[in-house]
Amino acid sequence: MVRMALWLRGAWLGADDADARLWLQLDDGRVAALRLPADFFGDDSLVPVLARQLRDGADTPHLPGGEGAVALPAAPVTPLPALAWGDPRHEAARRFAAALDQDILRCLAALNEPWTFDSVANYNRLARLDPERRRRWFQALERFPLLAAPVLLTAHTRLDAADPAPTPRDAAPAVIEAVERGRDLTGALARHEGVSRSLVRAPVCRWTRPFPDLDRRLLLYLVDGIPAHRRPKAPTELAAARELLRPLLALLDHPGEARRLGATALKAGLAATQESLERRFAPLEPALADSRDFCRAAVATADVPLSPRRLALAWMQQRGIASLLAASRRWHRFATETEEPTDTGEILPTIYGDGEYGGLQIRELRRFADFEREGREMRHCVASYWDICRRGRSRIFALAHRGERGTAEYAFDPEPEEHGGRFRLVQLRGPDNAEVSEALARAAAAFETVLNDPRRTEARRRIAVDYHRRHVDEGNPGLHPLDPRSRRELAAVLAAAETARHPRQRLRTWIAGYQYHQGEWVEAYLSCGTPLRLVREPDNPHDPLAVRVEWQGIKLGYIPRRDNGPIAHRLDAGTRLRCRVLRLQREAPPWQRLHLGIEMPPYDTP
């Protein structure tokens, strides 16, 4: 009943436990991986007992004493312990692997990266097939690895010889039926993925190794939007355009956006667009990152009825990526020429300070002089970020890793409910704004988790409080106005966009300055669904678009500046807006406590 058994300890496989692991090759061709208490390690008398229960369909075979063995479907089907090559236990693992079906192992190995497919569950799925079905599955996996593999098999993010939870499979019965009955697999995959048949047949979809840091589905939709005769002909074209694809995909939320962007901004083809942009704006990824600041400035200073992300997409779709990058470059130069950051004498509160983490040398910039020094030494404009940082929008760190230096910006979002806000790595530049190595980029990304560690919750909350206080008292300074040409181009983008024709939608926001007014006095009377009143304050000295939030005449605070423009315009036009409490969390900090929902009709609705 058992062809071969292999005993290993969890510690040899990198697991954080002392339990035993048992791999069994059953006589029906399947493999079982089990986790047992450490006391049972090496007890071969259990092997036939466990094998009999597995053949009878038991998911958790019983052990003597009433304990149970735990099945591990996501364990590697060919485990290799972290032992010396000549160690007898390592040799036993190699013999176990050599006795398996080598055709199945080769098929699974060809699919690996970024997902992992050579698990016990996937091996058994192929081992149970009769010869004809197996031939058809192998053929589908070979012809359409990118699309068929996640349907026919389980795409594991990693193999785990400790976790019994199975990874869900991308369910698509129509695709499996098409494979097994020899029907039109191209059409079945196209319908399942929601892409064109021509894309399914394209060579790019035969690539088995897509980028692990890019959303596979959004990438498919983006490429599907490009005119068919200009789509990438080979995976190498995607690899060459990675610097362009990564920031573009970060802007996208759903398939429709991806297709429209491909059909408009990339209509000349991915390679041609990449080559044209690199001639003018290299390095390209930092230039696209800079355009986010430009879009934030456009939204804040020009009262644009779009979010910065939506504005960036609309600009690219209407005028092209090069137009957006050119406007961003002009804005950065215009801002530098018209206003210099000022030394206010402030010292920013410490988030991490100076130290070392995982081989990364870290220096937190907390004084204006620190920003100036970093800018001189690295020959870039980090000093211009002083005002942004002192207002709590970002933090800058000087990093060094194995002799390489970089300057990292971590943007701060004060709104997440958990941990008092979060930091996110948004920029990482080397000397002269050059790109950094992958090693430094990985280390900087890992440091993001340190800044968001629960042990720094109070420090983040202090920044969040200061952020909201400055937002109410000082508005949103530090965002320079647009240059004249960019204002004209922005007007053309907005004229072409159909934002005013969208159906009624709900705007979700919070109350700015809640902790400074009377909200906490009346919280006992508020609950989810409580109606609130919106009142315009056109004479407000801090913001002519100010919108006050009231409950029965009691002032709770204001609509945040990022949202108040469209609301103010509708109120000024006499439109009645319904505002209600969406969520009230009395245990949360004041600035996170009350969330609102505002029904937003189109602009031409009274």
pLDDT at residue 472 is higher than 60: no
pLDDT at residue 96 is higher than 80: yes
Write down which residue in 38, 67, 98 finishes a domain. Answer: 98
- Residue 77 in contact with residue 118, Cβ under 8 Å? yes
Q: Is residue 189 a part of any domain in this protein?
A: no
pLDDT at residue 125 is higher than 60: yes
Q: Is residue 237 a part of any domain in this protein?
A: yes
Write down which residue in 98, 116, 151 finishes a domain. Answer: 98
Q: What pLDDT shows up at residue 495? A: 65
- Residue 81 in contact with residue 15, Cβ under 8 Å? no
Place of tokens 């340190």: 450
Q: Are residues 214 and 329 in the same domain?
A: yes
Report H helices in 355-475.
368-378, 386-390, 438-451, 457-474
Q: Are residues 489 and 410 in the same domain?
A: no
Write down which residue in 98, 127, 153 finishes a domain. Answer: 98
Helix (H) or strand (E) holding 320: none
Q: Name the least confident of 138-142, 452-456, 501-505.
A: 501-505
Predicted confidence (pLDDT) per residue in 39-86, tens digit: 899 888 988 988 888 888 777 788 887 777 888 999 999 998 888 888
Q: How confident is the model at residue 285 (pLDDT cuts 50, 70, 90)?
A: confident
Predicted confidence (pLDDT) per residue in 476-493, tens digit: 444 567 778 888 888 778
Classify 597 as helix, strand or coil: strand
Q: Is residue 172 a part of any domain in this protein?
A: no
Q: What is the CATH number of the domain that holds 538?
A: 3.30.70.2330
Rg (CA), the chain: 29
Q: Are residues 224 and 303 in the same domain?
A: yes
Place of tokens 């290993």: 8
Mean pLDDT of 441-461: 88
Beta bridge partners of 356: 361
State the total domains in the chain: 4
- Residue 147 in contact with residue 60, Cβ under 8 Å? no
Q: What does DSSP say about strands 2-9 and 422-429: parallel, antiparallel, or unpaired? A: unpaired
Mean pLDDT of 292-315: 79
Q: What pLDDT shows up at residue 362? A: 96
Q: Two tokens at 174? A: 């129509």
Mean pLDDT of 450-455: 88
Predicted confidence (pLDDT) per residue in 504-554, tens digit: 567 888 888 888 887 778 887 787 778 899 999 988 888 889 999 998 888
- Residue 225 in contact with residue 260, Cβ under 8 Å? yes
Mean pLDDT of 279-285: 83
Global pTM reads 0.61
Q: Are residues 327 and 304 in the same domain?
A: yes
Q: How confident is the model at residue 211 (pLDDT cuts 50, 70, 90)?
A: low
Q: Are residues 86 and 75 in the same domain?
A: yes
Structural domain boundaries, residue 437: 355-472
Q: Is residue 344 a part of any domain in this protein?
A: no
pLDDT at residue 498 is higher than 80: no
Helix (H) or strand (E) holding 16: none
Q: Is residue 120 a part of any domain in this protein?
A: no
Q: Are residues 452 and 489 in the same domain?
A: no
Q: How confident is the model at residue 606 (pLDDT cuts 50, 70, 90)?
A: very low
Helix (H) or strand (E) holding 82: none
- Residue 374 in contact with residue 398, Cβ under 8 Å? yes
Which residues 6+ apart lie within 8 Å of 327 measured at CB? 291, 294, 315, 482, 485, 486, 489, 490
Which residues 6+ apart lie within 8 Å of 384 measured at CB? 335, 336, 340, 341
Q: What pLDDT shows up at residue 501? A: 43
Classify 582 as helix, strand or coil: strand
Place of tokens 């983006």: 222
Q: Name the least confident of 373-377, 410-414, 469-473.
A: 469-473
Distance, in Å, from the CA atom of 184 to the CA atom of 175, rounded to the nearest integer, reads: 9
Residue 386, CA distances (Å) to 204, 371, 429 in order: 45, 7, 16
Q: Two tokens at 10? A: 């969890």
More confident residue, 285 or 370: 370
pLDDT at residue 210 is higher than 60: no
The candidate with the shortest Cα–Cα distance to 231, out of 193, 199, 257, 265, is 199
Q: Are residues 570 and 463 in the same domain?
A: no
- Residue 105 in contact with residue 74, Cβ under 8 Å? no
Within 347-418, strands assigned E span 355-357, 360-364, 394-401, 404-413
Predicted confidence (pLDDT) per residue in 286-296, tens digit: 788 778 878 88
The candidate with the shortest Cα–Cα distance to 291, out of 275, 274, 270, 314, is 314
Residue 77, CA distances (Å) to 84, 208, 278, 530 in order: 20, 20, 45, 57
Sheet strand arrangement including 594-600: 505-510, 594-600, 579-584, 531-537, 546-551, 554-558
Q: What pLDDT shows up at residue 396? A: 95
Handedness of CA 204, 207, 212, 217 (dihedral sign): positive
Classify 328 as helix, strand or coil: helix
The pLDDT mean for the chain works out to: 84
Predicted confidence (pLDDT) per residue in 573-582, tens digit: 777 888 988 8
Distance, in Å, from the CA atom of 191 to the CA atom of 280, rounded to the nearest integer, reads: 39
Mean pLDDT of 590-595: 76
Across 48-62, 106-120, 404-418, which has the greatest mean pLDDT? 106-120
Place of tokens 């031939």: 135
Q: Are residues 493 and 524 in the same domain?
A: no
Q: Are residues 369 and 329 in the same domain?
A: no
Q: Is residue 457 a part of any domain in this protein?
A: yes
More confident residue, 203 or 504: 203
Q: What pLDDT shows up at residue 339? A: 52
Q: Is residue 531 a part of any domain in this protein?
A: yes
Q: Are residues 522 and 557 in the same domain?
A: yes
pLDDT at residue 446 is higher than 50: yes
413, 415, 416, 417: CA torsion to nearest 10:
150
Beta bridge partners of 512: 558
Distance, in Å, from the CA atom of 38 to the CA atom of 20, rounded to the nearest integer, reads: 5
Beta bridge partners of 422: 413
- Spell out a b/e string for 34-63, using b for 16 or more CB atoms within 10 Å of the CB, else e: bbbeeebbeeeebbeebbebbeeeeeebeb
Under DSSP, the state recorded for 512 is B
Q: What does DSSP say about strands 360-364 and 355-357: parallel, antiparallel, or unpaired? A: antiparallel
Mean pLDDT of 80-99: 89
Q: How confident is the model at residue 499 (pLDDT cuts 50, 70, 90)?
A: very low
Q: Are residues 445 and 515 in the same domain?
A: no
Predicted confidence (pLDDT) per residue in 320-365, tens digit: 999 999 999 888 776 555 556 667 788 998 999 999 998 899 999 9
The candidate with the shortest Cα–Cα distance to 230, out of 272, 292, 181, is 272
Q: What is the CATH number of the domain that holds 424?
A: 3.40.630
Q: Name the least confident of 180-189, 206-215, 387-396, 508-517.
A: 206-215
478, 483, 484, 489: CA torsion to nearest 10:
-100
Helix (H) or strand (E) holding 221: helix 216-225
Q: Are residues 310 and 295 in the same domain?
A: yes
Number of residues in the chain: 606
Q: Is residue 405 a part of any domain in this protein?
A: yes
Q: What pLDDT shows up at residue 503? A: 43
Report H helices in 67-130.
88-98, 102-111, 120-127
Task: Provide, rounded to the nearest whole percent, the portion of the chain with pLDDT above 70.
Answer: 90
Place of tokens 């053929």: 139
